[in-house]
Amino acid sequence: MTSTEQSGAAPLRGSSLAEDYAAAGFGGGLQLGARPALVLIDPARAYVDPESSLYAGVEASQAGMIELREAARAAGIPVFLTRVLYDNASGTLGGLFFQKVPALAAFVEGNPMGEWAQGLEPGDDETVVTKHYPSAFAGTSFAAALNALRVDTLLIGGWSTSGCVRATALDALQSGFVPVVVREAVGDRHVDPHESNLRDIAAKIGEVRSMAQVKEYLSEVAGQA
């Protein structure tokens, strides 16, 4: 029995995974709309402080988030930031998620690791969405806020690519917003889950665009306002 048969996976239709995806009909494009918003997912100190158990070495994407937010502000689009926050060490609000991921104790109220990463503190005109699960949409009023602003496209940066970023992108799609993950503004603790999830997001969920592409898009949006 081959390793492919043992894993239950079908053989590739083509010499590469990209060719297989194309042959299967994945990877269609979504048209970006005229009313975007930006959400930065969980830009917490925990991911960039070496003293934290959640330290992920994602400082490059921290700088990318700062750059992306500056571009969003210049374009005059709404900016949201999410944070994970639990009111006590029992993690009742997090339910099974808190049980599954003990590292979430970093986000119990009062833990300094749950504070904002440097340079990503919310501005007075920016909205903070407090969440207890991976997606910014799960158990929050985020979708209602976007709908009230008539948003059609959601630019996404944050941490981590394989967890809360992917979950938010999927729920954005399912809620009727075009998800656009900005490559330089997302990060993960290892390149393998980072790249594999970017690939799957691009194939099945939304758009993965470079910072340069998103800045060009925001310039066009600002010019039409």
Active site residues per annotation: 164
Runs of H (alpha helix) within the chain? 3-7, 17-24, 59-75, 95-100, 142-148, 166-174, 191-204, 211-224
Whether 70 and 78 have beta carbons less than 8 Å apart is answered as no
**Greatest Cα pair distance in the chain:** 61
Specify whether the backbone of 210 is left (phi greater than 0), alpha (psi in -120 to 50) or beta.
beta
Whether 32 and 182 have beta carbons less than 8 Å apart is answered as no
